[in-house]
Amino acid sequence: MIPFLDLHKINSRFDADFQAAFREVQDSGYYILAEKVAAFETEFANYC
C-alpha cells in the first residue's frame, strides 16, 4: 500500500488535547446544549 495521508501521524501531537476535551464533556454528562457546546459555537462563529 502506498501511504497517502497519515492522519495518525498528523494528529498525534494534538492527542492529549483531544482526549482532555473529550473527557471533560464525557465527565460532565451533558452532550447536547451544554456549556462546552455553547463555547465551541461561539468560537466557531467568531472564526467564520
What are 3-15's pLDDT values in tens digits? Answer: 889 988 999 999 9
Q: How confident is the model at residue 16 (pLDDT cuts 50, 70, 90)?
A: very high
pLDDT at position 1, please? Answer: 74
Is residue 19 situated within a structural domain? yes
Note down the domain range covering 21. 7-47
- Number of domains present in the structure of the chain: 1
Q: Report the percent of the chain where pLDDT is more than 70.
A: 100
Closest CA to 24 of 34, 10, 33, 12: 34
The verdict on residue 36 lying in a domain is: yes
Establish if 43 belongs to a structural domain. Answer: yes
Residue 32 has a pLDDT of 83
Nearest to 36 by CA among 25, 48, 47: 25
According to the model, what pLDDT value does residue 37 have? 84
33 belongs to a structural domain: yes
Answer whether residue 2 is part of any domain.
no
pLDDT digits (tens, 9 = 90+) for 27-41: 988 888 888 888 989
